[in-house]
């Protein structure tokens, strides 16, 4: 019997074996064995269910609730408990019976949404996948990066001074720097005018190093000069000996006073005829510069940048001033610096010129500046030679930016690319919030104006009656005529960010929009590309390529103007604006005659007055217009002649010193002998824009 029971248990579900067994044993015995086996399995299943119920996790204070809970990828166990509004212990106990739940610690991450769904399902909830919530305090604390606190005095070492050369345009700043470093930069500049900031290091005869910033000197680049002054320790103010203090010189003086930066005056071009050093010193004293010998301690050195005269005295003055200031910097720790300039190189990519203010910059560092970041792939000096490291006070060209940083932004070093991306996300989020706040005021103002207009129209409709509220005829927008104002669209592409910024600053001064609108539809750093050409075709715009490459074969109908000097760009813009302006009427006087005597004659039944005149200037034309003056005052204008005769002959013109008879169409005007008849014509002449950018 034992063998039969065992055999029956083994063959349950196999019909073929069951049939063979039934053939060998009696049907009644087989049925009894099957009944026994089935009862045995039922008892075992009941025992297992009872055991599962007894040993199920005890639910502590579980509220009777159901519904939909929010879940997201990589949420923590604590987040799930908070989303389900259950105790953390309850979620942890349920996770013991969920396959793949893994670690049940409160801060453990649940990476698989399916596992999260199973846990919530066992708790009686349905799920909805949502984006992970952003905790403002966590972002503020963990994802932003700020400059370090001031360094300890024992960590500081001497560093080179940063000297900015400033002054009026064409006073010899670039030539002076050429002489100091023994290189020719002025010859490579367009027209000898510095177009953007340059930073480089000069080693003096005593072995000390000085970092120089060369800034543009004309008024259009005032923002760039201000950025240069923020970077500088000492300002070398270049003043031409024959010109003296000019407008940009005054701006530099005000800038240095505002930033409390010491000044060394270099009176340049002392070898030119008309140079007057004493006059320049007096003018500087009148503008608040206390020079040596005039009751102050500001050094003034007369130099000739072209011939190298007295440059040793100037460098010695710079070195002395730097020594007195005791300039020091921290060479260890994360790098900090300031972007001087940024550009796009067609071969190397995005580059920025910067000055390191703290730490030592090396290849491979992760940098963040504004909303741009870089993994440094190369460091180059001002001559384009690769260097291994950069210490405080030294300029460097950085290769490896993902996006171009803005000139004047602070550079900070971070630990990894992950931290850099977190910082950029935080800063982008903050920028969006600031923009939303700034836009809110304008939106509220517009809404207020709209509400006032709506209330006024509603009140007007109420007073006029119900049937008059409907719009009669076409709406105002449908019949509003075009203002007819001409428009000039431009696209600005520049080699560096500072150049583009300076051009935009110049365009901001445009104040002749009543006659012609000037719209900048796009601006960027880099060469002219297909996207720029498509925009130009769409908006019928002119592309101004400032010191960048242009396509060899631009698209048909697209105008590209390569320029390398901002003056020429402005002059070309003025010409284009003038072509857009409509022609205006211009009055041209062609002749003049004196009235000698008046004759009254009969023409049929009508009595008319004929003026006996003598042409005293130019020529009189019958077809032209006339005006009458008496004692210099205008009596009438826009008059025409009905008849012009010389002797008895009808003529078309009368020359100077010839007498004639003139009969005006308007006989109502009472003239006298001695009045002046002026002959003039109306010409169509082009207009000239009144835009004055200030230089």
pLDDT value at 470 more than 70: no
The average pLDDT across 674-695 equals: 88
Phi and psi at residue 669, to the nearest 5°: -80, 125
DSSP state for residue 298 in the 8-state scheme: B
State which fold the 584-686 domain adopts.
Elongation Factor Tu (Ef-tu); domain 3 (2.40.30)
Of 504, 563, 496, nearest to 196 by C-alpha is 496
pLDDT value at 644 more than 90: yes
Query: Which two structure tokens, joined as six digits, stand for 510?
Result: 């445009």
Domain 336-415 is found in CATH 2.40.30.10: yes
Cβ-in-10-Å burial (0-12, 13-18, 19+) of 44 comes to exposed
DSSP E strand stretches across 506-566: 517-525, 542-546, 559-563
DSSP E strand stretches across 476-554: 487-494, 517-525, 542-546
pLDDT value at 411 more than 90: yes
The average pLDDT across 312-317 equals: 84
Of 335, 446, 444, 453, nearest to 392 by C-alpha is 335
Cβ-in-10-Å burial (0-12, 13-18, 19+) of 617 comes to middle
DSSP string, 195-219: -S-EEEEEE-TTS-EEEEEE---SG
Query: Which two structure tokens, joined as six digits, stand for 78?
Result: 């604590």
The three-class DSSP label of residue 306 is coil
Q: What is the pLDDT of residues 324-341, one digit of tens each?
A: 888 888 998 899 998 888
The average pLDDT across 443-454 equals: 85
Q: 156-330, superfamily in CATH?
A: P-loop containing nucleotide triphosphate hydrolases (3.40.50.300)
Distance CA 392, CA 159 (A): 6
Give residue 369's pLDDT.
Answer: 92
Distance CA 42, CA 471 (A): 84
Q: What is the pLDDT of residues 67-123, one digit of tens each?
A: 889 898 778 899 999 999 899 999 998 998 888 888 888 888 887 888 899 999 998
Give residue 138's pLDDT.
Answer: 45
Domain 156-330 and domain 336-415 have a common topology: no
Pick the range with the lowest mean pLDDT from 52-61, 143-152, 579-588: 52-61
pLDDT value at 9 more than 70: no
pLDDT value at 10 more than 60: no
Residues 6 or more apart whose CB falls under 8 angstroms from that of 290 comprise 296, 297, 298
Task: Report the percent of the chain where pLDDT is more than 70.
Answer: 80
DSSP state for residue 145 in the 8-state scheme: -
Query: Which two structure tokens, joined as six digits, stand for 579?
Result: 């072509």
Give residue 178's pLDDT.
Answer: 75
Of 389, 328, 334, nearest to 359 by C-alpha is 334
Task: Report the percent of the chain where pLDDT is more than 90.
Answer: 24
pLDDT value at 38 more than 80: no
Asked whether 168 and 217 are in contact (CB, 8 A), the reply is: yes
Q: Band of the pLDDT at 60, cuts 50, 70, 90? A: very low
Cβ-in-10-Å burial (0-12, 13-18, 19+) of 395 comes to buried
Asked whether the CA dihedral 144, 149, 154, 155 is positive or negative, the reply is: positive
Give residue 584's pLDDT.
Answer: 87
Q: Helix 88-95 crosses helix 77-84 at what angle (to 10 degrees)? A: 120
pLDDT value at 185 more than 80: no
Query: Which span out of 188-197, 462-471, 630-639, 686-695 was modeled with the highest average pLDDT?
Result: 630-639
Give residue 134's pLDDT.
Answer: 60
Of 282, 223, 286, nearest to 255 by C-alpha is 223
Q: Band of the pLDDT at 356, cuts 50, 70, 90? A: very high
Residue 244 CA neighbour count, 13 Å, CB half: 12
DSSP string, 328-344: EEE-SSS-EEEEEEEEE
Domain 487-581 is found in CATH 3.10.129.10: no
Against a cut of 0.75, is the pTM above it? no
Q: Band of the pLDDT at 623, cuts 50, 70, 90? A: very high
Q: Helix 497-508 crosses helix 566-580 at what angle (to 10 degrees)? A: 40
- Give residue for tokens 């390529």: 545
Give residue 533's pLDDT.
Answer: 92
Q: So where are the chain's domains?
A: 68-129, 156-330, 336-415, 487-581, 584-686
Query: Which two structure tokens, joined as six digits, stand for 60?
Result: 């502590």
Q: Band of the pLDDT at 373, cuts 50, 70, 90? A: very high
């Amino acid at each position: 019997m034992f063998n039969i029971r065992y055999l029956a248990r083994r063959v349950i579900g196999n019909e073929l074996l069951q049939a063979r067994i039934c053939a060998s044993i009696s049907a009644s015995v087989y049925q009894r064995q099957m009944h026994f086996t089935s009862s045995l399995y039922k008892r075992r299943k009941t025992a297992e269910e009872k055991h599962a119920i007894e040993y199920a996790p005890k639910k502590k204070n579980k509220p009777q609730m159901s519904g939909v809970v929010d879940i997201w990828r990589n949420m923590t166990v604590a987040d799930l408990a908070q989303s389900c509004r259950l105790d953390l212990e309850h979620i942890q106990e349920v996770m013991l019976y969920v396959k793949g739940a893994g670690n049940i610690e409160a801060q453990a991450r649940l990476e698989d949404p399916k596992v999260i769904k199973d846990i919530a399902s066992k708790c009686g909830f349905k799920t909805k996948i949502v984006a992970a919530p952003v905790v403002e305090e966590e972002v503020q604390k963990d994802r932003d990066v700020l400059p370090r606190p001031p360094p300890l005095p024992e960590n500081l070492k001497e560093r080179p001074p940063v000297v900015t050369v400033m002054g009026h345009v064409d006073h010899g700043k670039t030539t002076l720097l050429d002489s100091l470093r023994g290189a020719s930069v002025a010859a490579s500049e367009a027209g000898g005018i510095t177009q953007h900031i340059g930073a480089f290091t000069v080693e003096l005869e005593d072995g000390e190093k000085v970092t120089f910033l060369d800034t543009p000197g004309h008024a259009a680049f005032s923002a760039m000069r201000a950025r240069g002054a923020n970077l500088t320790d000492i300002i070398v103010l270049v003043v031409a000996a024959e010109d003296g203090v000019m407008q940009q010189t005054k701006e530099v003086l005000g800038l240095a006073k505002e930033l409390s930066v010491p000044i060394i005056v270099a009176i340049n071009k002392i070898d030119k005829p008309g140079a007057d050093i004493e006059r320049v010193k007096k003018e500087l004293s009148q503008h608040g510069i206390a020079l040596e010998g005039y009751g102050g301690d500001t050094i003034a050195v007369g130099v000739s940048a072209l011939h190298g005269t007295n440059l040793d005295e100037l460098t010695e003055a710079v070195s002395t001033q730097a020594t007195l200031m005791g300039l020091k910097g921290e060479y260890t720790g994360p790098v900090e610096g300031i972007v001087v300039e940024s550009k796009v190189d067609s071969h190397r990519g995005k580059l920025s010129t910067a000055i390191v203010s703290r730490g030592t910059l090396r290849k491979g560092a992760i940098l963040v500046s504004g909303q741009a970041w870089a993994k440094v792939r190369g460091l180059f000096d001002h001559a384009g030679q690769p260097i291994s490291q950069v210490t405080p006070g030294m300029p460097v060209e950085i290769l490896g930016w993902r996006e171009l940083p803005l000139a004047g932004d602070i550079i900070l070093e971070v630990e990894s690319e992950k931290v850099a991306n977190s910082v950029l996300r935080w800063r982008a989020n903050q920028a969006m919030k600031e923009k939303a706040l700034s836009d809110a005021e304008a939106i509220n103002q517009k809404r207020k104006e709209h509400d006032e207009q709506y209330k006024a129209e509603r009140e007007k409709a109420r007073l006029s009656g119900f049937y008059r509220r409907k719009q009669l005829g076409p709406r105002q927008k449908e019949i509003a005529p075009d203002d007819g104002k001409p428009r000039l669209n431009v696209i600005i592409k520049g080699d560096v960010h500072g150049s583009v910024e300076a051009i935009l600053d110049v365009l901001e001064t445009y104040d002749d929009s009543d006659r012609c609108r000037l719209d900048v539809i796009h601006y960027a750093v880099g060469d002219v590309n297909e996207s720029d050409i498509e925009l130009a075709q769409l908006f019928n715009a002119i592309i101004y390529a400032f010191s960048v490459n242009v396509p060899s074969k631009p698209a048909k109908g697209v105008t590209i103007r390569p320029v390398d000097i901002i003056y020429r760009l402005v002059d070309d813009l003025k010409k284009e604006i003038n072509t857009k302006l409509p022609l205006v009427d211009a009055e041209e006087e062609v002749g003049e005659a004196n009235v000698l005597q008046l004759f009254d004659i009969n023409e049929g039944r009508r009595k008319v007055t004929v003026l006996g005149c003598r042409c005293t200037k130019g020529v009189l034309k019958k077809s032209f217009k006339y005006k009458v003056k008496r004692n210099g005052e205008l009596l009438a204008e826009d008059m025409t002649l009905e008849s012009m005769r010389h002797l008895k002959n009808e003529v078309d013109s009368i020359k100077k010193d010839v007498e004639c008879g003139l009969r005006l169409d308007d006989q109502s005007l009472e003239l006298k002998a001695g009045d002046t008849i002026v002959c003039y014509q109306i010409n169509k002449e082009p207009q000239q824009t009144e835009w004055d950018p200030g230089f």
